Structure 1
Amino acid sequence: MSGDIQISPHVGEIFVKYGVRRQYRSGEVLLEKGAPSTQVGFLVKGQLRTFCLGPSGDEISLFYLGPGNLFGSSALVYHAKVMVSVSAISPAEVYLLAADHFWKLWQEHGYPPQDLMAHFVRRITMLSDYICCSHFLEDDKRVAYFLHTCCASSGPAIPYTHEQIAAITGMSRVSVTRILKQFREAGILRQAYRRIEILDPQRLSEVFDSLGYFLD
């Protein structure tokens, strides 16, 4: 699911003014789960993926991040280690700051802590949606719920490829493509390059027609 969550513009201002600018190649790992958690990052260009390893060692994608998003935020709540891994899925430009330095700057500028708290609450809610999505056994319901939660949280334009949706929902790309074609032919959505636009959220919700309590 998209991890793009609106965040206070003050966050980007602090990172760009005081942070260290870094560039990463596609496929390069920025943070690895279990490493010391001391820095937080802010993405300004490119796209990142957060992931963890399953019991068999396979990578499980959690969500994707576009420009204007924080990553490595476990350092802000004083976790000793990185909670999830982060890698670049396109050339990426980021700014890095030591977590304690960021907090000091935030407080010195007098910015309200509620701005950051709201960001963390929205991300927790988003992860709850992932868990709910995994409970659907039928592929069409799983994709419908995923798309509906994206639409509800970020608007009708969903910037995901078939491969990314497959990685997050635990399905094959072929299955995702087939289901999206069905939804398109039914007039529920339309597709463009690397983007899906939801035309009828109500009909989309009727596909799974239950377990909507995470959409509050």
Structure 2
Amino acid sequence: MTNNEFVLLNSKLITVFRQYGVREIYNPRQIIFTKNEEAQNLYYIQSGMIRVYIPYPDGTERTLCYFPRNTIIGEDAFNFPQRRIVCTDTLNKSVLYRCSAKELLQKAIHNPDLTLGILTFFMRKITLLHSWIFYAQFQRNEEKIACLLYTISSTSNSPIKLTHGQIAEVTGMSRVTATRILDSLAKKNIIAMQYKSLEILDKQTLREIFENKEFY
């Protein structure tokens, strides 16, 4: 499937959310759903940035990843039992469309393109989640950040709207270390840093930083 075909299928899936879903506005740091609660709905992110994390009994949290706009979260609503396996909240003001898994499946029964769109979208998301886990094998922090940025840039050509602190949080390093590595990548003209975001300038060189590792 070409990227243009994927975009077309994705647009049909998004249309269902906008037509049949409930539009909701979330304030910064507002919880969308929490681990172990019943999972009935999926959410299309129209705008904003969503954090996925796991809470620990001692009150600390482990941030797993971030999802930007034009992404769908909450696919554990298709699981059995229908229970959330992670928590999510918003980093900034966000607009989401909430649609039940049951409603989505009912629309897909008589629409082969929508069915294919759902399957294709979530297969791509599985690949994305694999890559979030992928950089756990890296010993060098530069490889972790390069893999993270490469993965995110593979899903969109838009600037990556993550702060240095958020990148450090996901990759498990200090903010100082993350900033030092990002500064180095910027000096090599691999990335361009902006306020609370960055742009990939040389994707191939970014990939070569971790080229000796098998990529999902």
TM-score of the aligned structures, taking structure 1 as reference length? 0.85
Identity among equivalent pairs (%): 27
* CA distance 1:207–1:97, change in 2 (3 Å): closer
Structure 2 residue aligned with 1:199: 201
Structure 2 residue aligned with 1:159: 161
SS at match of 2:215: helix
1:40–1:76 CA contact under 8 A, matched in 2:
no
Q: Which residues of structure 1 form unaligned runs of 5+?
A: none
Find the aligned partners of 1:52 and 1:25 in 2 and give their Cα distance: 20
Cα deviation 1:76-111 (Å, max 9, x = unaligned): 344420122111111122222221122112324553
How far apart are residue 182 of structure 1 and its match? 0.9
SS at match of 1:113: helix
Structure 1 residue aligned with 2:29: 27
2:123 alignment partner, one of 97, 121, 124: 121
Q: State the superposition RMSD in angstroms.
A: 2.3
2:12–2:114 CA contact under 8 A, matched in 1:
no
Moved more, 88-97 or 49-58: 49-58
SS at match of 1:159: coil
Cα deviation 1:105-146 (Å, max 9, x = unaligned): 232455342211111111111122122212112212221222
Q: Which ranges of 4 or more aligned residues in structure 1 deviate by more than 4 Å? A: 54-57
1:156–1:198 CA contact under 8 A, matched in 2:
no
How far apart are residue 57 of structure 1 and its match? 5.0
Structure 2 residue aligned with 1:174: 176
Structure 1 residue aligned with 2:190: 188
1:43–1:94 CA contact under 8 A, matched in 2:
yes
SS at match of 2:92: coil
Q: Does 1:147 align with 2:149?
A: yes
Which structure exhibits the higher relative contact order, with contacts defined as CA atoms closer than 8 Å and separated by 6 or more residues? Answer: 1
Find the aligned partners of 1:41 and 1:200 in 2 and give their Cα distance: 32
SS at match of 1:51: strand
2:13–2:114 CA contact under 8 A, matched in 1:
no
Find the aligned partners of 2:70 and 2:188 in 1 and give their Cα distance: 34
2:44–2:98 CA contact under 8 A, matched in 1:
yes
* CA distance 1:156–1:210, change in 2 (3 Å): farther
Q: Does 1:88 align with 2:90?
A: yes
Find the aligned partners of 1:110 and 1:133 in 2 and give their Cα distance: 36
* CA distance 1:119–1:79, change in 2 (3 Å): farther
Between the two proteins, the alignment pairs up a number of residues equal to 210
**Paired AA for residue 52 in structure 1:** I
SS at match of 1:211: coil
Q: Which residues of structure 2 form unaligned runs of 5+?
A: 1-5
**Paired AA for residue 71 in structure 1:** I
How far apart are residue 212 of structure 1 and its match? 3.6
Moved more, 158-167 or 56-65: 56-65
1:50–1:85 CA contact under 8 A, matched in 2:
yes
Find the aligned partners of 2:96 and 2:207 in 1 and give their Cα distance: 36
How far apart are residue 32 of structure 1 and its match? 0.5
SS at match of 2:212: coil
SS at match of 1:41: strand
SS at match of 1:8: helix
SS at match of 2:162: coil
TM-score of the aligned structures, taking structure 2 as reference length? 0.85
